Chains A and B, each alone.
Chain A
């Protein structure tokens, strides 16, 4: 992964005292909190502007609500979240989270945060019966292939600007990195493999310095 060149992928690169928020409106919030706990990091649920102010990084989990972006706006989270992300706070979206972070959603006018310079296609691999487990090669990730869990997953149609695709499946982008932002089509939080959570924690550590 590109950022790993500056932040070595070693466990002690993660600073103590980091608070990582998980957006807790809907989706697999507990799974991310459990993965953060397994990485010995403090994970907190984020539903309000006050909670958003206390964190050093944010994970937007997997979920299904097509209106998460509407909810962010209605409950006044959108503006402060955008301000913090633009000021450098690391944000990682898994599946729905990546869709919410994308600039464009193919064939849809659904509102998004517009953070990642990518166009995503929703349910790109098909309906639930096409959901798969499949090992992935990820640029910069050492060791064995990563266990990809794809559930009605999106893929990345195109990327521009600073967005860099880190992994492909069937020729389609499924993981993206852009400075302080990360997006995955798949769900590392549903596996026992903590490498991507640790990688995100290093991004959070680096941003706090």
Chain B
């Protein structure tokens, strides 16, 4: 009666990552730095979002060799990104033995109407969301973990905070509604009523939620944690900083001790320059990533 790929083991891996930091890496060396700094997982990429943004063009799943070398280099779970709706990239990553797939708006979407049906896969998926409706649609499709979208590669936390607050506000609102209002609210959210009922009753998502998109400093990570995030993704923020090993370790320790400003102070000292940031209003509209996904 051995059962693989159940919701419990897929969502369970995300539960084991709670309170931790997941870091974007592009080489085995970076993956080892991340692991030694105490990352709970790494995201294997060809280019970090800041570079994808700079270079433009179509961003696809990373080259298999890049992902494979990173998988060989570390013992922590390795995640990789597939394009929105590109279920074949996901099949290939699963066949490779990847531990988690991020169906990500950071890559160029392959389908402008539909996301991947994630339920038939054995490998768990994480998906981005800006609000509760989006999060619940992804969960209905089988996502085992949700992250905010933020604005990847911007080094600016403002969008991620907006999305985190929005999801939390939406959940709080649902949790005080009378039963008879849930069906209409499910319609307005664009999400299945069964999951809406579950969220209203539990007062939380049925899966783990992390913040992603724009985290550049230990204080950014702690801001997310104090606002109720269960962990953080740091993309460009580590390896675009002046001192990646130190920044990585500082963000990990600050995230573990997010409720202790003295420790956050201590780890924030002498880190050197964080990654350069972008004002969201200065990014041309067609280059904003958070709007991708349906």
Residues of A at the B interface (CB closer than 8 Å) are 24-31, 47, 62-67, 70-71, 74-75, 95-96, 108, 122-123, 127-135, 149-152, 187, 190
Contacts and interface: CB of A to CB of B under 8 A. Distances in A.
Contacts of B256: 25-26, 47, 71
- Residue of A30, A71, A150, A152 most packed against chain B (CB within 10 A): A152
B59 interface: no
Contact of B99 (A31, A75, A149, A152): A152
Contacts of B15: 28, 31, 62, 190
B9 A133 contact: yes
- Residue of B4, B6, B124, B252 most packed against chain A (CB within 10 A): B4
Contact of B9 (A29, A108, A150): A150
A48 B41 CA distance: 25
Nearest to B41: A64
B123 A70 contact: no
Interface stretch (B32-40, B102-110, B132-140): B32-40
Main SS class of interface, A: loop
A70 B253 CA distance: 11
A28 B9 contact: no
A55 B291 CA distance: 48
Interface residues of B, number: 39
A24 to B, nearest CB: 7
A128 B40 contact: no
Contact of B76 (A62, A66, A129): A66
18 contacts: A27-B19, A28-B12, A47-B256, A62-B15, A63-B17, A63-B20, A65-B20, A66-B35, A66-B38, A66-B76, A71-B253, A95-B16, A128-B99, A131-B12, A132-B2, A132-B3, A187-B12, A190-B15
Contacts of A31: 15
Given A71-B256, A132-B2, A152 B8 contact: no
Contact of B100 (A65, A128, A130, A135): A128
B123 A128 contact: yes
B40 A65 contact: yes
B28 interface: no
B31 to A, nearest CB: 12
A149 B9 CA distance: 7
B40 A63 contact: yes
A65 B16 CA distance: 9
A108 B35 CA distance: 14
Given A28-B18, A64-B41, 12 more contacts: A25-B19, A29-B19, A62-B15, A63-B16, A65-B38, A66-B75, A71-B38, A123-B75, A128-B100, A129-B4, A131-B13, A132-B4
| Nearest 9 Cβ contacts at the A-B interface | A128-B99, A64-B40, A26-B19, A67-B38, A131-B9, A28-B15, A133-B3, A151-B12, A129-B122
A67 B18 contact: no
Contact of A152 (B1, B20, B77, B263): B77
Given A131-B4, A132-B2, A190 B76 contact: no
Given A64-B77, A70-B38, A150-B9, A127 B19 contact: no
B5 interface: yes
A63 B12 CA distance: 10
Contacts of A67: 36-38, 252
Nearest to A128: B99
A77 to B, nearest CB: 12
